[in-house]
Amino acid sequence: MAQPRVPLGQGMLNLLLALGRALVAPGLWVSLALALLAVWAVTAYWRSLTPVTVVEDGAARQVRTRCATVGELLQDLGVVVGAQDYMVPDSRSPVRPGMVVDVRHARLVTISADGAIREVYVHSQDVGEILQEAGIELEPGDQLRLNGQLRAGVQTTELEVPPTSSAGSRAAALFPASSREGRLSEPLAPVSRIEVERATLLYVDDGSAEQVVRTTARTVGEALTQAKTLLYLGDRVYPGTDAPLTSGMHIRIERAVLISVLVDERTLRARTHCRTIGEVLGQLGVSLVGSDDVQPAFDGPVQEGMQIQVVRVSEQTIVEQQEIPFETQWTADPSLELDRSRMDDAGVVGITRRRYKATYRDGQQTDRVLDEEWVAQEPRPRKIVYGTRIVVRTLETLDGSIEYWRRIRVFLTSYTEATCGKAPDDPEYGITRLGWKMRRGIVAVDPQVIRLRSAVYVPGYGKGIAGDTGGLINGRHVDLGYDVENITWHYEWGYVYLLTPVPSSSQIPWILPDSPRER
């Protein structure tokens, strides 16, 4: 019967215990000799052991052993190696100095792929190698879930190699040697689960080119999202975005055209599948009325990014009127006293009307045409009766009694020969309209109101004679003449009396002007 093997650590402990017992023996020299002998024995024993490196699941440790075989060494270290475990060299290999013993314990991994579930024992830390050991190839677009979690960075949606390439080349394209370790190498838990979700092959026609896509999406909409295919409002997808995917499915996208419509001071933007501008307006609910104008033409084709302008065109009838002034008819009445009048008819203003046809574009008038003109109301003249009966009256003044035949309300001012606008060396300086030398008592008048050479009386001034005119003397305006040395300035309204004798009727202005007006 074989003797039980004492572990390396236990033998060293026994030797140290023997050394301790020697040190307590009687006699110092004997104790020292025994101690040196024990040290020499321990050193000799240590040098007789074989150095070995043991790597267990990647963790290395240095040991010395007297074991003859690898199996004895692992047993001595308490390393249990099962039937599925990996060990190099094998257990029967002799122990040699400096050798490396590599032990990798197998782990149970559950793999779900292609509708089947299998359990395999694996030694690798690399997910790609595990799948390769299980005979499972990944295609572009396939998804991996490790322990129920989606493995980020593994899914590839867009196929980067032709669909007719071999499975090996597709796998190489998806997981190249330079990047596969970084993508799939990941330590697994003692019990791991790998799920392989196969991608579906699709063909997406976006109008300009066909795109080949492999995806694990369930519906058309999800597949387009994974493929980063942007859909705009108005785009049409056949089959619909809710349709389930089937392998080899062809998806067609009809892109809507982006347009803008300027109408009624608004800008409407939309995406449309309409073929003509008229259809676009109908889709947006923009109705045309009457002569509304559309640019480009109503039946023109729709193009990407185009701007359509709708101009509202309307016609309106405008009626304008203009007054026709009436005439004033004067009629003499010998029974009515001079400078008195009465109105027999106030008169009526006439009215002319014009009708125009105006055209407006977006509220702005762009055209105007006269359609008709007519007199809506004929003017009626104003009729005034003026008196021609002259009554001679007497007025007591500070200068004595005067006899006059007409009294006129006038605006009174003053002037001298120095204020008449001529220089002293002018031959006409100080000479009146009638050629008289300027002096006090000569007044300037408007001959249309007061006849020249008429004798007049002005209260506060006295008697005078109308012997001059002036450029500023118009209507009921009388300028009272003074000597330069003795002048009284007037700027006021007052009365002028026309003294007898009464001139002939042909020399009398029966109707006087009403200017200037007294304020």
Mean pLDDT across the stretch 98-113?
A: 85
- How confident is the model over 305-329, as a mean pLDDT? 94
Collapse the DSSP code of 169 into the 3-class scheme (helix H, G, I; strand E, B; otherwise coil) and give the result: helix
Write the CA distances from 349 to 70, 239, 371, 381, 442, integer angstroms. Answer: 138, 81, 24, 8, 45
Q: What is the mean pLDDT of residues 454-463?
A: 97
Instruction: Give 321-351 pLDDT, tens digit per residue.
Output: 999 999 999 999 999 999 999 999 999 999 9
What is the residue whose two structure tokens read 């009445």? 333
- Return the amino acid letter for 222: E
42-79 pLDDT, tens digit per residue, is 666 667 789 999 998 888 999 999 898 988 888 888 88
d(CA 410, CA 478): 7
Mean pLDDT, all residues of the chain? 84
User: Rounded mean pLDDT of 192-216?
Assistant: 83
Q: How far apart are CA 500 and CA 498, in angstroms?
A: 7
Confidence grade of residue 517 (pLDDT, cut at 50, 70, 90): very high
Pick the closest to residue 490 from 450, 462, 468 (CA basis).
Answer: 462
Residue 165: CA count within 13 A, CB half-sphere: 15
Please name the amino acid found at residue 401: S
What region does 313 belong to: left with phi over 0, alpha with psi -120 to 50, or beta?
Answer: beta
pLDDT of residue 167: 38
The most distant pair of C-alpha atoms in the chain lies apart, rounded to whole Å, by 191
Q: Which residue has the higher pLDDT, 189 or 431?
A: 431
DSSP-assigned states of every residue in 187-199:
PPPSEEEEEEEPP
The pLDDT assigned to 36 comes to 74
Q: Omega of the bond prior to 244 within 30 degrees of 0, cis? A: no
Tens-place pLDDT, residues 141-199: 787 888 777 775 444 333 333 444 443 443 344 444 333 334 455 454 555 788 888 88
Q: What is the DSSP string of 366-386?
A: EEEEEEEEEEEE--B-EEEEE
pLDDT above 90 coverage of the chain, percent: 50
Q: 31: pLDDT confidence band, cut at 50, 70 and 90?
A: low
Instruction: Let me know: does 365 contact 357? Beta carbons within 8 Å.
Output: no
Residue 146, pLDDT score: 80
Q: How far is Cα of residue 351 from the mean position of the Cα atoms in its chain?
A: 54
State the average pLDDT over residues 24-40: 65
Average pLDDT score over residue span 200-222: 84
For the chain, how many residues are written? 519
CB contact at 8 A, 274 and 256: no
Kindly tell me if the per-residue pLDDT of 473 is higher than 90.
yes
Mean pLDDT of 425-437: 94
pLDDT, tens only, 255-301: 888 999 999 999 999 899 899 999 999 989 999 998 899 999 989 99
% residues pLDDT > 70 (the chain): 84
373 with 348: CB under 8 angstroms?
no
Provide the pLDDT for residue 22: 54
- Average pLDDT estimate for 430-442: 95
pLDDT higher than threshold 80 for residue 38: no
| Domains of the chain: residue spans and CATH | 8-104 (3.10.20.30), 107-197 (3.10.20.30), 200-254 (3.10.20.90), 257-311 (3.10.20.30), 316-386 (2.20.230.10), 391-507 (2.40.40.10)
> Is there a contact between 345 and 382 (Cβ–Cβ < 8 Å)?
yes
The secondary structure of 294-362 as a DSSP string is EES-TTPBP-TT-EEEEE-EEEEEEEEEEEEPPPEEEEEEEEEETT-EEEEE--B-EEEEEEEEEEEET
For residue 89, is the peptide bond before it cis, meaning its omega torsion is within 30 degrees of 0? yes
- Across the range 217-235, mean pLDDT stands at 85
Q: What pLDDT shows up at residue 444? A: 98
pLDDT over 50 at 217, yes or no: yes
- Given a contact cutoff of 8 angstroms between Cβ atoms, the answer to whether 145 and 216 are in contact is no
